[in-house]
Amino acid sequence: MKRVFAYSPASPGLRALLGYARSRNVPRAALVALVVALAATVYAGQQVPLPQLRQLTDYSVPLAAVVPVVHAVVLATTTFSPMADLEHTAAQPMHRHRAVQMAAVLVYATLLAVLPMAAGASAEVTVAAVRNVAGYLGLAMIGARLFGSGLAWLPPLAVFGPTLLAGVRWDNTPEPWAWSIHGPHSVPAAVTATVLCAVGLVLAATTTPRRAERDEQG
């Protein structure tokens, strides 16, 4: 007896989600972030020296704990919507698609932060990297909401720059506000990153594109 296997196309919901991801250049952003993560994995043992602005004797942070800011900036570009007007007036709310996208971005960013472990990065460095990618991703999402997706990079870099330049005190310890260069067991740094991540993801998943951003489409 001959069996016939019928082609079963993807469900409409899955097709819509895939189309939504492509419209926001999620595959391209994911690829760029992966290339950066692979480079960080190759140089997982490297340290990033901080500028000697305060006559420091020696202070550096692992490269794997610094690269997460790049992941956050790159992945935050996926908040841009080329169909902002349609999303704003759509009969079916886009909140579910945005929530799925943000959850996927967070999981993917976490995996990228863990990747340097394959090249020997310690568990402590990995904990700091995961914390930092969550915090900076949250900052990027907050920036997308406040300033539009084109400037989502602004808050992460506005925090990261001063952290590198002035985030260490005269006694060679991190400033309280420089959470991303704190040690992996710092509770205040973990709380700060968690709050930033939660606020950013909620804003990105539940709010519609800014009016100014929609006007740019015209």
pLDDT score recorded for residue 92: 53
Which residues of the chain have a pLDDT value below 50?
1-2, 4-8, 91, 211-212, 214-218
Answer whether 156's CB lies under 8 Å from 136's CB: yes
Q: How far apart are CA 67 and CA 12, in angstroms?
A: 37
Residue with tokens 């904990």: 127
Considering only CA atoms, which of 74, 48, 196, 76 is closest in space to residue 132?
Answer: 196
CB 132 within 8 A of CB 23: no
Around 155, how many Cα atoms within 13 Å sit in the side-chain half-sphere?
21
pLDDT in tens, 133-151: 999 999 998 988 888 877 8
Distance in angstroms (rounded) separating the CA atoms of residues 157 and 140: 9
Would you state the pLDDT for residue 93? 57
- State whether the Cα torsion 128-192-95-71 is positive or negative: negative
- The DSSP code sequence of 141-194 is HHHHHHH-GGGTTHHHHHHHHHHHHH-B-TTSSB-TT-GGGS-TT-HHHHHHHH
Per-residue model confidence (pLDDT) at position 42: 85
- pTM higher than 0.75 for the full model? yes
Closest CA to 100 of 26, 17, 25: 17
- DSSP-based three-state secondary structure for 76: helix
Res 46: pLDDT: 80
Nearest alpha carbon to residue 203 among 99, 109, 110, 133: 99
